[in-house]
Amino acid sequence: MTIDIKGAKLDYLSLATASNDFLEEVLRAGTVPDGDKLAGWEFRGFNTLDLTGMIGIRKFKKGFYKDGELVRGYNVKIKQKGGLLDEWEDIVKNGESVKHGFYNVEPVSDSNKDNLYPNSLLLNYGSSDRNPMADPSKFLRDYLVQVDPENDDLYLGKAFVALGPKRVFVSYFVIERSNPSTL
């Protein structure tokens, strides 16, 4: 099922090609995802900022898994070929997809510095001990909302870089359920 905001159909393709103003509206109208429904899955993803295509991170996957009671996640490197309607193909090394950019999935709290979207989950790369000390992904903070409360397959996110007390907007991203997680 899809929902409408100002008469627009909200699906993967329409969100991936929408304006930032429209995506901000959708993000603010979204609901907090259930981390347990994310866990165990990888989601194909698309960064909306054109520059991400030039630096080789436009297409990606986000994976989620349970670690005891906690939900954690990772990114999967994807071959940057084709467009939105083409297959997502993992980059494979030693027979396994290349995982990087690990994060902890946290509820957004008023007492936390990263509390811009209380209706979201925070994907906090800085709190994961799986990232190497010099890994620049440690500065990423992503907010993630469920676009439609009746659709557990489609999510919208907004990525920021944490520079000391400042948060610098990077890109919106759309993710859609793709395949079971390999962690």
pLDDT of residue 1: 47
The amino acid occupying position 80 is: Q
pLDDT of residue 9: 74
Q: Rounded to two decimals, what is the model's pTM? A: 0.94
For the beta carbon of residue 168, count every other beta carbon within 10 angstroms.
10
pLDDT of residue 50: 75
pLDDT of residue 83: 85
Report, as ranges of residue numbers, the positions in the chain whose pLDDT lies below 50: 1
Kindly tell me the sign of the dihedral angle through the C-alpha atoms of 134, 46, 141, 71: negative
CATH topology of domain 4-180: Lipocalin (2.40.128)
pLDDT of residue 2: 53
Taking every pair of Cα atoms in the chain, the longest distance, rounded to a whole number of angstroms, is 48
pLDDT of residue 94: 96
Q: Reduce the DSSP state of residue 83 to 3 states and report it.
A: coil
pLDDT of residue 49: 83
| Tokens of residue 6, six digits | 């100002």
122-169: pLDDT as tens digits: 999 999 999 999 999 999 999 999 999 989 999 999 999 999 999 999
Q: Where are the beta strands (DSSP E) in the chain?
A: 4-5, 8-9, 41-47, 59-67, 70-77, 92-93, 96-97, 99-107, 121-124, 140-146, 154-163, 166-180
How far is 74 from 53, CA to CA, in rounded Å? 20
pLDDT of residue 3: 54
